[in-house]
Amino acid sequence: MWVFYLISLPLTLGLVVFTLRYFAGPEIPRYVLITVGYTWFCSVSVIILAPADIWTTLSLQPDHPENGAISFLWSWSYWSTFLLTWAVVPLIQGFEDAGDFTVSERLKTSVHVNLVFYLVLGFIGLLGLILLIMMHRNWTGSILGYAMACSNTFGLVTGAFLLGFGLSEIPKTLWKNADWTTRQKVLSHKIAKIAVKLDNAHQELSNAIVVAQATSTQMSKRDPMRPYMNVIDAMLAKMFREDPSFKPQGGQLGENDMDYDTDEKSMATLRRHLRNAKDEYYRYKSEYLTYVTEALVLEDTMKNYERRDATGWKYISSFRATRTGKMGNLLDSLEFMWRCILKKQIQMVLAVVMGIMSAAILLAEATLLLSKLDLSLFSILISSVKSDELLVQAFAFVPLVYMCVCTYYSLFKIGMLMIYSLTPRQTSSVNLLMICSMIARYAPPISYNFINLIQLHSETIFEKKMGRIDDAVPVFGQRFNEIYPLIMVIYTLLVASNFFDRIFNYFGSWKRFRFQTETEDTDGFDPSGLMILKKGKNTILIFFCIEI
């Protein structure tokens, strides 16, 4: 039973460390890195523990000693993610977002910011508990069980819509972007949009710098606020030292921009504003360079494919010097095969495979109401190999991971609308904590949802520990586990048929509330994006060569 789990666990740890190092910004405190890393590790541990739980349920007796180990690991993973996502991470996030100058003041600010959240959450939980007791007069559950059920109900309901969007959009996006011309169109639109955001972020940071410098200039050395201003001056000096190429341009002072020298709180606001403006600028700069680099590499790929006979099927890059030596020609040929031939075909194959998996998941979700008829492909596959431990866990692990990918894909799309995202090597502490909190909230509900799709002869350990979600949602009675997947299926079919796009396009003012998909900007090239690539190509190439 432990073979698959013991193989997956170190791989999971390595993946978490690599992902954290890749996305974390240069100034992330160590305690934030540890918190985010541990949260991610616990979340993914839930995902890799579910296949082991399914295997034990199929093959072992209820009183088998290994069930105790599974139970302990479930408790450790679940309650770690529960406490982190609902208590620890929000407090640290508020602490990191605060602009105060002392640890105690930053903690006070964090508690104050989160107090409204906790009060609303507690009020809703109390109402739900009263309703539960009124509708279930003989309810004997524990408060911890109720809290677990509420948390997972939140994840199941909201996660169903996130999952549905991802099931539709991921295969569609992969298939369309496999076409080079389509991807070029998408990138031209992305570059044009991100260039506007980068310009606005540059302007905002310039304004913040001008305000900070003007405030420092007019403040005397004997001013009680001078020590706080010195901290901000040091922050500015460090920023210019780390990025000498940045030049503030067009910074302008508004009527109220100089009101930062009255008390400690106003100075904290100035420091927070400056830091947020800096984080936003470098985040957009990183995204801009990523899109432009991808567009230039794609342009190289198309040229190499067109000239394949003249170049002898070797890849010639405009980003680097020609390879030399005995291995140079071989490496150029291998790169040509990957970029110009294999990568495109693999994308198309993945799109088809993921499309089939999406259809299989939707069919399984839609037929949960038919308890006597098992139409779940995953249930059939697992039942057919139930005597083979590795195959059972592999057949459970692959679709479960795909469901996670679909859910988190949609979650990041929402994040881009709410101004938080994972940006390579430029993700701030606040964004990193926000994302890790959201990821942790959906890992257990996704696992619970997948386990429901498999017809097992008895409850898994996870289901026993989680309890019946129906008991915590009396509005739907005993049919909640069958009703919410059916709603998700209907929603997914509407997304796949572009129903919501037509509605939002009809009511033009509603467009800002919809998901932004990568394939919606495929109707022609964006002239601004093409002009940026044409005019700035040499500068971008020089910058890219310096970076690598």
In the chain, how many domains are there?
1
State the pLDDT at residue 389: 85
Structure tokens belonging to residue 420: 């938080």
Contact 88, 53 (CB under 8 A): no
Instruction: Give start and end residues of each alpha helix (H) in 250-388.
Output: 264-306, 308-311, 328-336, 343-366, 377-384
State the pLDDT at residue 548: 44
Distance from C-alpha of 305 to C-alpha of 313, rounded to nearest angstrom: 8
Burial of 262 (0-12, 13-18, 19+ CB in 10 A): exposed
State the pLDDT at residue 371: 65
Phi-psi region of 313 (alpha: psi -120 to 50; beta: other; left: phi over 0): left
Neighbours of 531 (CB within 10 A): 14
Distance from C-alpha of 263 to C-alpha of 218, rounded to nearest angstrom: 15
State the pLDDT at residue 258: 55
Judge whether 396 lies within some domain. Answer: yes
Contact 282, 426 (CB under 8 A): yes
Judge whether 115 lies within some domain. Answer: yes
Contact 133, 471 (CB under 8 A): no
State the pLDDT at residue 499: 81
Judge whether 526 lies within some domain. Answer: no
Distance from C-alpha of 282 to C-alpha of 201, rounded to nearest angstrom: 9
Judge whether 31 lies within some domain. Answer: yes
Q: Quote the pTM value.
A: 0.85
Structure tokens belonging to residue 65: 């000693």
State the pLDDT at residue 144: 63
Phi, psi of 236 (to 5 degrees): -65, -45
State the pLDDT at residue 407: 92
Judge whether 444 lies within some domain. Answer: yes
Judge whether 341 lies within some domain. Answer: yes
State the pLDDT at residue 311: 87
Phi, psi of 82 (to 5 degrees): -60, -50
State the pLDDT at residue 197: 92
Distance from C-alpha of 282 to C-alpha of 27, rounded to nearest angstrom: 12
Judge whether 196 lies within some domain. Answer: no
The alpha carbon dihedral of 35, 38, 39, 40 has a sign of: positive
Contact 354, 181 (CB under 8 A): no
Neighbours of 327 (CB within 10 A): 10
State the pLDDT at residue 477: 47
State the pLDDT at residue 145: 62
Strand partners, 427: 24
| Average pLDDT along the chain, 548 residues, taken 10 residues at a time | 79 91 90 94 89 85 72 87 88 92 92 84 72 59 63 79 92 92 91 92 92 88 89 93 83 57 83 92 90 90 92 85 81 92 95 95 85 80 86 91 92 71 86 88 87 82 69 52 80 85 68 54 77 69 49
Structure tokens belonging to residue 382: 């697992």
Domain span at residue 138? 2-179+323-494
Judge whether 385 lies within some domain. Answer: yes
